Every structure is written in structure tokens, then in C-alpha cells.
Amino acid sequence: MRISTLTAWFGHVGILAVFVLVFTEQVGLPLPVYPVLVAAGAWSVRGGPSLVQITAIAVVACLLADLGWYAAGWRFGSRVLRAMCRLSLEPDSCVSDAEHLFGRFGSRVLVVAKFIPGLGAVATAMCGVVRGRLSGFLLYDSIGAALWAGSGVALGSIFHDAVDDVFSELAALGRVGGLLILALLAAFLALKLWRRHQFLRQLRMSRISVQELHRLREEGAPLLLVDARPSASRARDGMIPGAIAFELLLEGAKNRRGGEVVVYCACPNEASAARIARKLMSLGFHPVRPLAGGIHAWQDAGFALVS
């Protein structure tokens, strides 16, 4: 078998590169690592380590990173989820979206979490936040990591000739090939940032601050306070006094009392609250405003929560 460009490149960087890149991506950096797994699968066919070895090293990298998020969620609770939601480049990976899936499937969501952009790290941290059993976490996370890494490596082994041709073309381009890879990576990150910007722009509307909400409550102004979070979050973290669950509001929409409607969630950008606020406005509720900073801003201001 001829020594291909792919074999030469992986022979230079070694299998440790697979571990480092996978670990870095699982920690949270927005790197497109799945193509690396595909290339590593093609390398295996070209004389590299076995498919099992490459998959195993990727799974170990995933587990180490995920255990870090699990421990952080266990130690710091919802604050970890807040930080992840604020830093994520995936506009649809807000905490509330992950909580809906986690509330329905529990730790089993880890089996598919790595295939859903933005969900992997949030789901692992959430296991720690809800104090899920470590044994169950390790079981489902191992299965999910093996499926994710194994599928990429298997694709590379099946289409190894095509993958090798791509590496050969890039090698023939020399420095231009390297610049092309960097340009593609930059374009990938730019697309992520643009999608997030467009998503937040769509949700832009007038917010109400926690201080203003507290003042209106103290003055006895007519208010309808709506909690847009999943039931599991309300049970775990409590609610703002006087708030009602969003689903209960819809059931009694015809008999609602007057006054301003304030919606809150747990996302730093109030994404869920803004979406539900728009839905309530379409149903005839007016005026409707999201609470700036959500329930965490209310809690950070020192205001009370109830179970």
C-alpha cells in the first residue's frame, strides 16, 4: 500500500492529536472536530491504528471533558448553565431547550446529545446540576460518545479513498491549502456568530428590569407574572412569588385578569421568555414584556423565591 498524504500527516501528528482535538471541542470550543474523526478513520485503513483504538481514544477524551462539566454542574449548580448559555454560539442551545429534553428523557439524552449542536456540554452539566447518579451518567455518556466517535471513524474507513484524495489535493496546494483550511474554519465560526446575531435580533423587544418589576409589585399594580421555564426548573430553583406556569396561563387564557404581562425564563438573553412573549401577544395579551436577566437577575438582586 502506498504511503498517502493522509497517512503521512497523521503519522506526523499521531493519535494524540485526535485526543487533544476531541477534548478541546468537548470542553466547549467551537471546533469542527467530526471531520477529524472521519479523516482518522481513513488513516486507520491506510495503515494507522485500528478503528477500535481511534474510537477508544476519542471516547476517553469525551468522558474526561464531560466529567469536568458534570463536576462543575454538581458544584456550582445553575450558574454553570447560565455561563454556558451566555457563551454558546448555538442560538437554539439555550438552557430551557436542553431542560425540556432532559426533563423528558433524563440522563438518557446523553446517548444522542453529541449529535445535536450545542446540547452536548449543556446536557452533561445538567446531569450534575440535578445531582444525577454518576453511574447512570457514565453509562449513557459512554454510549453516546462511542456512537458519535464511532460513526465518524466508520464513515472515514468506508470512504477512505475520497478522504485521501482531499488530503492529497490540499497537500498539492501547499501553503495555499493551509490557508484554505483556515479560511473554512473562519467561515464556520463566522456563520455561527451570524446565526446567533440574527436569532437575538429577532427576539429584540422592550424588557422590564427586576427593579421595575419589584417596584410595580410593591405599588400593587395589576401584573400577570408568567414562568416560562420547564416544570423541572421550577421545582429545582423555585419561582418568583405570584408567578404562574406558562402552560397554566394558556389553559385559563379566557379568564385572565387585566394588567401588564411579564414573562421570565432562565436564559441570559431571555430567549425563551421573548419567544413566549411574542406568542402571548399573538393570542391577544397586551402589553407583554420579558424580564431582563430572567429569574437569576431577580435572585441576584436579593429578591425572594418560593417553592
DSSP 109: G
Residues 264 and 243 sit within 8 Å (Cβ to Cβ): yes
pTM of this prediction?
A: 0.65
The full set of domains in the chain, from first to last, is: 5-202 (no CATH), 210-300 (3.40.250.10)
First to last CA, the chain: 67
pLDDT of res. 196: 63
Nearest to 52 by CA among 143, 145, 150, 148: 150
Buried b / exposed e over 114-149, threshold 16 CB at 10 Å, is bebebbbbbbbbbbbbbebeeeebbebbbebbbbbb
pLDDT of res. 204: 58
145-168 average pLDDT score: 82
More confident residue, 9 or 248: 248
147-160 average pLDDT score: 90
pLDDT in tens, 273-303: 777 777 787 777 778 888 887 888 888 888 8
Query: Is residue 59 pLDDT above 90, yes or no?
Result: yes
pLDDT of res. 223: 85
pLDDT of res. 58: 95
pLDDT in tens, 224-272: 888 888 777 787 788 898 888 887 776 655 445 457 888 888 765 666 7
DSSP track, 266-278: S-TT-HHHHHHHH
pLDDT in tens, 88-126: 545 544 566 666 777 778 889 899 989 887 677 788 888
Q: Is the peptide bond before 287 cis (omega within 30 degrees of 0)?
A: yes
